[in-house]
A and B are shown apart, each in its own frame.
Chain A
Amino acid sequence: QVNLLQSGAALVKPGASVKLSCKASGYTFTDYYIHWVKQSHGKSLEWIGYINPNSGYTNYNEKFKSKATLTVDKSTNTAYMELSRLTSEDSATYYCTRIIRGTGFAYWGQGTLVTVSS
């Protein structure tokens, strides 16, 4: 069965960077894009962008272009999102997710809580 296992919660200082991971299993990793979604506490969801694990091609929401960097490691079936120059506005839960073709985001990771605090 498809599973997306995300890294654990992170407490990071303002101005620092953090790299979140999303380990995929149960399917051929290179067959499906991995998308990332942000959810600030108690608020709605924002689409950050996606990466094509096969080619490394990325498509970012303009809002996150200077904040997030998406990469993959095909040898470990893991997608990464690095968030840079962190501020309190980046404190949120971040999800990785994957579609089933022709439908929507059918599979979601459990989310990673990032807290930015000194």
Chain B
Amino acid sequence: DVVLTQTPVAQPVTLGDQASISCRSSQSLVHSNGNTYLEWYLQKPGQSPQLLIYKVSNRFSGVPDRFIGSGSGSDFTLKISRVEPEDLGVYYCFQATHDPYTFGAGTKLELK
């Protein structure tokens, strides 16, 4: 199975700061069709996960442009510029290139 390693485990931030989360895959996430099915989800306390980014860098409908996904192959990053209170929670990367699909262990974005 593909292992997604997220760092850091926790990211203490001050509101208005930039935050950066890394997701490294145990193998390339480039599908045979040329797409890279790497997604980012945010789970706020007591809620279901919500989709932020799909195919590495595409923001889902309604996601603010302060969320920026980047990367290629097996190395990916989610940057959040100007962190706002509603951005706090646990971020997960997820890959749907290889079966079984897998999630990273999560990164908790929390206030300093």
A-side residues, CB < 8 A to B, are 37, 44-47, 49, 59, 61-63, 95, 97, 102-106, 108-111
Docked pose: A103 CA to B105 CA in angstroms: 21
A47 B51 Cβ-Cβ under 8 A: no
**CA of A97 to CA of B105, assembled, Å:** 19
Number of A-B contacts (CB under 8 A): 53
Contact of B60 among A37, A46, A49, A104 (CB under 8 A): A104
Q: Please tell me the size bucket of the interface on B.
A: 20 to 34
Assess whether B60 is in contact with A111, with CB atoms less than 8 Å apart: no
CA gap between A106 and B102 in the complex, in Å: 17
B105 pairs with A104, CB closer than 8 A: no
The smallest C-beta distance from A112 to any residue of chain B, in angstroms, reads 11
CB distance from B81 to the nearest CB of A (A): 22
What are 23 A-B pairs with beta-carbon distances under 8 A? A44-B103, A44-B104, A44-B106, A45-B92, A45-B103, A45-B106, A46-B103, A47-B101, A47-B102, A47-B103, A49-B100, A61-B101, A62-B100, A103-B54, A103-B58, A104-B39, A104-B60, A104-B96, A105-B94, A108-B49, A108-B50, A109-B48, A110-B48
